[in-house]
Amino acid sequence: MKKSGGGIYGFFDIKSVEFLSDFNILKVKEEYNNQITADDDFWNAKIDANYGTLIYVKTAHMSKSYITYKRTGMDGWIILKNIAPPYKILFSGHICAGKSTLSKELAQKIGGTYIHFGTYIRKVLEQNNILYSRTDMQEMGIELRNKLGDKGIIEQVTKEVAYTENSTLIFDGVRHIGVLEELRLKYPDIIHIHVSASQNDRYVRYITRDKKISRKEFKEIDSNEAEKEIDILASKADYVIHSNHNNDIKYESDIITNVLIYLISGRTIL
């Protein structure tokens, strides 16, 4: 389900579909307007229509969070790629946007191997006996990227998990354009999902999940050099999830990941 000119907010289960013959828009309005609840402008715009389809909705699953997708032209419709598994998917986004919550749940639902860049960085910090903070992770990430390069970082991160090339892979925590480009070279059909949330929502989640810090300290972490390319990544994503943390995270992620499964598998047309 999506708003006209807007994002995808959920999905619905179909009870039945009726293809209308001997079509008359005024008869349809008279019989079904109480259920469709459209205004006169809607019906007037359809006055010359020659056919129609009625979809009876059984159950609607709505989220406060929503997904936008990359437009390729002025056409409001998008025909989704029918990409067959195994899938290759990457998640990007700012700190505490919700990307790990969504990527882990998606991996569980589709049987994917979860690969987290942060896990490798934490391991390196532990090997160097560093009691890591968020800033330590950011600085180590920069150091490793300078030392290994984008391709080398990907090689090291993937060494940490057991998988085959026929596995569905879900990469979480991409923060740099170079890493995105290397993953696209390696997996041309990789699907890029960016998770976006307001800085205020992310701060609230950070102090709830991690530790109490001031807003000033959070802004400093958020503006670290390791985070500076994240907004650019949003503009390159196939899908952007506009996350709303003021709602039930489990409920939101359940709906959003189900929508993503439909989008990724090409089982629907918007």
pLDDT at position 19 is 82
* Closest CA relative to residue 263, chosen from 69, 86, 97: 69
Distance of CA 97 to the CA centre of its chain: 11
* Banded model confidence at residue 120, pLDDT cuts 50, 70, 90: very high
∠ CA 193-223-239, nearest 5°, is 10
Which neighbouring-strand residues pair with 55?
A: 17
Q: Indicate whether 70 pLDDT > 70.
A: no
Other Cβ atoms closer than 10 A to 30: 10
Tokens 């807003």 correspond to what residue? 215
Q: Considering only the C-alpha atoms of the chain, give the largest distance between any 2 of them, rounded to a whole number of Å.
A: 77
Tens-digit pLDDT profile for residues 132-166 = 788 999 999 999 999 999 999 999 999 988 888 78
Q: Which amino acid would we find at residue 176?
A: H
Residue 24 neighbours by CB under 8 Å, 6+ apart? none
- What is the average per-residue pLDDT within 116-142? 90
Provide the residue ranges of all domains of the chain, joining segments of one domain with +.
8-62, 64-265
Q: Which amino acid is residue 156, in one-letter code? A: Q
Place of tokens 């998988």: 163
More confidently predicted of 128 and 77: 128
CA 228 to chain CA centroid, Å, is 20
> What gap in Å lies between CA 257 and CA 232, rounded to an integer?
23
Residue 230's pLDDT band (boundaries 50, 70, 90)? very high
* Position 93 pLDDT exceeds 90: yes
Helix (H, G, I), strand (E, B) or coil at 53: strand
45 HSE (CA, 13 A, CB side)? 5
Least-confidence region, from 28-37, 65-74, 107-116, 258-267:
65-74
Q: What is the pLDDT of residue 125?
A: 93
Cα 138-142-144 angle, rounded to 5 deg: 115
**pTM listed for this prediction:** 0.76
Spatial separation of the C-alpha atoms in residues 256 and 10, rounded to whole Å: 7
Phi first, then psi, for residue 167 (nearest 5°) are -85, 150
In the chain, the amino acid numbered 187 is Y
Q: Residue 137, CB half-sphere, CA atoms under 13 Å: how many?
A: 16
**The domain defined by 64-265 carries CATH number 3.40.50.300:** yes
Q: List the strands of the sheet with 169-174, edge to edge.
A: 8-20, 52-69, 239-242, 191-196, 88-93, 169-174, 113-116
Q: Which of 81, 68, 74 is nearest to 196 (CA)?
A: 68
